[in-house]
Amino acid sequence: ILLSFKCNGYEFPEDFKFGVATASFQVEGAWNISGKGESIWDYITHNNPNFIHDGSNADVACDTYHKTAGDVQLLKEISVDYYRFSISWSRIFPTGHTYSPNADGIRYYNELIDELLANGITPLVTMFHWDLPQALHELGGWPNPVLAELFVDYADKLFEYFGDKVKNWITFNEPYQICDFSYSDGILAPAYKQKGIGGYLCSYTVLIAHGKTYQLYQKRYKETQNGRIGITIQGPWFEPRTDSAEDKKAAENMLQFMFGIFAHPIYIGDYPKVVREEVNRLSTEENRRRSRLIAFTPQERDLIKDSADFLGVNHYTTFICTPRNAEIQEVLPMNTDGGASCYQDDEWAAAASRWFRLVPWGFRKVLNWVKEEYNNPEVIITENGYSDLTGELRDCDRISYYNSYLTEVLNAIHEDGCNIAGYTAWSFLDNFEWVNGYREKFGLYYVDFEDDDRPRTAKMSAYVYKNIISLTQDKLTLITRPRDSNGA
Ligand code: PNW
């Protein structure tokens, strides 16, 4: 199996790091234990179970809350350098406000962090991976700019509680999904559909929150804690349908409306020109008194500019774009202000998720696009992985996904000079895949959700990943079977 890792004769650089990722709501369970508050995902799964395709919820999920020591042993077993996990805001601050911390939440994350460090695994911590405290949603959620202040209060406390041990922080996981999917298209909680409005209000708040958090860290913590702060953006590749100028523009606009809208303010200093011009123009055409896009003041631009020590990029798949065309059936709702319609080629092999086809060359292209747009910033690939429906242990399709996508990472590093420092497999465990419930499985470890104990079993991909990592760590001596959660 390992030999099928083509790698083009290239090796990962010596200081290249490998990890696996999860997110609090998708794995923790213990949804109301020891004072944890309700999040918007607790709320929607309990009150609107039809929103989830299999009607399930994440009350127990993988129960990682109760399995810290065993799970860290599994991480150790596959030799990862780091573990990317997220903190549940409402586990630490049940109402979202920081004046009343929940001691058990702080204890839980301290124990996880300590256990990782004791086993030589670096924590990479996401502050927000979608599970907003319900009480803050009741104030309007991310479209309300006051959320930026409340997020900075929260981040400040995370630095205070954990910053002596955590040196790698990600403020937000996928602002486009937090904003457009949740407040414009309604396909993630809280499932609001205010197309062209909710998403931009939220994007503004999230960028201010990110910028202020970065500046706060520089001012108050950098000197003593000496950590690094980044943000993670979802970066599908958008390929023009043909070489025509119109198709190229459609594809480029999608990149700007989904990726540039967040990365451009951080690396260049404002929303991309095409985003400003198009949304302003359309807003005038629609007889609005003001643009749907919330402009930054010069002070806000300064606040956000240069506010990332690294750029997290999540990548799964590729879309083909052409100028807007009502006949094209979209696989995912997308921002329409860029005037593009996107679809996928039926010929491409499909994973389990509706939006997910295998296009390894698209990975290399988006990594190169990031390099050109933002002057080759340091990139950490914070998610990449494959979904199936079976959870089969002999997961050959997942293995070939990792092989082919990792080969493109090597090409991007060695042939194109992309500044890529790390790679994170999504996901460590099969878990609660948002609206798809437990149907779609991304794990390197199988989790038996029928068993109260949620036992984990290594899939074949876990061994392969372990060995790819070992190649770089120069420890390729054993191809051993990782242990399951019973130590077998
Ligand atoms: C990510 N797309 O979402 C999330 O960060 C994870 O929590 C999730 O489990 C994982 O991917 C798998 O779905 C995505 O536009 C959002 O191609 C958007 C896309 C892909 C994944």
Which atom from ligand 1 is nearest to the alpha carbon of 426? Answer: 10
User: Which residues on adjacent β-strands are paired with residue 84?
Assistant: 21, 124
Q: Which pair of structure tokens corresponds to residue 266? A: 């951080």
Which of 75, 85, 107 is CA-nearest to residue 485?
Answer: 75
Q: What is the structure's pLDDT at 479? A: 54
Q: What is the structure's pLDDT at 8? A: 75
Its pTM stands at 0.96
Residues 309, 314: Cα–Cα separation, whole Å: 17
Of 22, 173, 174, the one to substitute when testing ligand 1's pocket (max ligand atoms within 8 A of C-beta) is: 174
How far away, in angstroms, is 433 Cα from ligand 1 center? 9
Q: Are residues 465 and 425 in contact, defined by beta-carbon separation less than 8 angstroms? A: yes
Strand 445-447 to 456-458 pairing: antiparallel
Which of 122, 127, 113, 136 is CA-nearest to residue 156?
Answer: 127
Closest protein CA for atom 21 of ligand 1:
316
Closest protein CA for atom 8 of ligand 1:
433
Q: Which amino acid is at 403?
A: N
Residues 35, 147: Cα–Cα separation, whole Å: 22
* H helices, E strands: number in the chain: 17, 13
Three-state DSSP at 181 gives helix
Which atom from ligand 1 is nearest to the alpha carbon of 317? Answer: 17
User: DSSP class of residue 484?
Assistant: -
Of 22, 41, 255, 316, the one to substitute when testing ligand 1's pocket (max ligand atoms within 8 A of C-beta) is: 316
**pLDDT by position in tens, the chain (length 488):** 554 566 778 999 999 999 999 999 999 999 999 999 999 999 999 999 999 999 999 999 999 999 999 999 999 999 999 999 999 999 999 999 999 999 999 999 999 999 999 999 999 999 999 999 999 999 999 999 999 999 999 999 999 999 999 999 999 999 999 999 999 999 999 999 999 999 999 999 999 999 999 999 999 999 999 999 999 999 999 999 999 999 999 999 999 999 999 999 999 999 999 999 999 999 999 999 999 999 999 999 999 999 999 999 999 999 999 999 999 998 999 999 999 999 999 999 999 999 999 999 999 999 999 999 999 999 999 999 999 999 999 999 999 999 999 999 999 999 999 999 999 999 999 999 999 999 999 999 999 999 999 999 999 999 999 999 987 765 555 555 666 777 66
Q: What is the structure's pLDDT at 383? A: 99
Which atom from ligand 1 is nearest to the alpha carbon of 236? Answer: 17
Which atom from ligand 1 is nearest to the alpha carbon of 177? Answer: 16
Catalytic residues: 174, 383
Of 39, 237, 259, 314, the one to substitute when testing ligand 1's pocket (max ligand atoms within 8 A of C-beta) is: 314
How far away, in angstroms, is 326 Cα from ligand 1 center? 25
N residues, the chain = 488
Q: What is the structure's pLDDT at 49? A: 96
Q: Which residues line ligand 1 (CB under 6 A)?
A: 23, 173-174, 177, 234, 236, 314, 316-317, 332, 353, 355, 383, 426, 433, 442
The ipTM of this complex is 0.93
Residues 428, 458: Cα–Cα separation, whole Å: 10
Which atom from ligand 1 is nearest to the alpha carbon of 356? Answer: 17
Burial of 246 (0-12, 13-18, 19+ CB in 10 A): middle
How far away, in angstroms, is 173 Cα from ligand 1 center? 10
Three-state DSSP at 389 gives coil
- Give residue for tokens 């006949």: 327
Q: How far is CA 66 from the centre of its chain?
A: 24
**Residue 392: CA count within 13 A, CB half-sphere:** 10
How far away, in angstroms, is 20 Cα from ligand 1 center? 15
Tell me the CA distances in angstroms from 203 to 2, 147, 178, 245, one per residue in order. Answer: 42, 11, 8, 29
Q: What is the structure's pLDDT at 4? A: 57
How far away, in angstroms, is 442 Cα from ligand 1 center? 11
Burial of 243 (0-12, 13-18, 19+ CB in 10 A): exposed
How far away, in angstroms, is 434 Cα from ligand 1 center? 9
Which of 414, 419, 432 is CA-nearest to residue 7?
Answer: 414
How far away, in angstroms, is 456 Cα from ligand 1 center? 22
Which helix (H) or strand (E) covers residue 199, if one does?
helix 198-216
| φ, ψ of residue 382 in degrees (nearest 5) | -95, -10
Contacts of 392-395 with C-beta under 8 Å, sequence gap 24+, read: 392/459, 393/446, 393/457, 393/458, 393/459, 393/460, 394/459, 394/460, 395/459, 395/460, 395/461
Burial of 439 (0-12, 13-18, 19+ CB in 10 A): middle
Q: What is the structure's pLDDT at 7? A: 75
